[in-house]
Amino acid sequence: MDAREQITDWVHHCYWDKDINCARTTLFCLSQLCRLPLHPQISQAAVGLNGAGRMGGQCGLLEGALLFLGIRGAASGKTDKEIVSLCGQYATAFQQRFGGITCRQLRPGGFRKDDPPHLCEAITVDAICFAWDFLRAA
């Protein structure tokens, strides 16, 4: 199974079986791909990182990847300054690739009660694949 197929399976499981948000799903997938276990508090801290608690703010797909860049950067001995620079590079690349960094820009119609479940599943797969490619090149 290639990385995209694995990510697609993990995203579907996280969304439909566990009902966890995009930031936590991103963290889970990247930790699995990098074989870097995460402390449970990381996932707990990311519980509201889905557009700033569904308010349309910064996208959890970006936030989850930024958190993981910090975790992986620290684990590999990067300085805080190097991690900040890497996060800035990633956010710029994310914005160029996806056209924005907020849910207001990326999520069709924002968050509405009549939305189908897990509306962001397809973009989540794309964003995690994008993050994985970035991590491998960094």
Per-residue pLDDT of 43-95, as tens digits, reads 999 998 887 877 778 899 999 999 999 999 999 999 999 999 999 999 999 99
Q: What is the pLDDT of residue 41?
A: 95
Q: What is the pLDDT of residue 108?
A: 65
- Give the structural domain span for 81: 3-137
* Number of structural domains found in the chain: 1
Q: Which residues pair with 102 in a beta bridge?
A: 58
Q: Which residue has the higher pLDDT, 106 or 8?
A: 8
**pTM listed for this prediction:** 0.94
**Tokens 């990098």 identify what position?**
34
**Residue 49, C-beta contacts closer than 8 angstroms, at least 6 positions apart:** 21, 22, 23, 24, 58, 60, 63, 64, 67
**Residue 93, C-beta contacts closer than 8 angstroms, at least 6 positions apart:** 130, 134
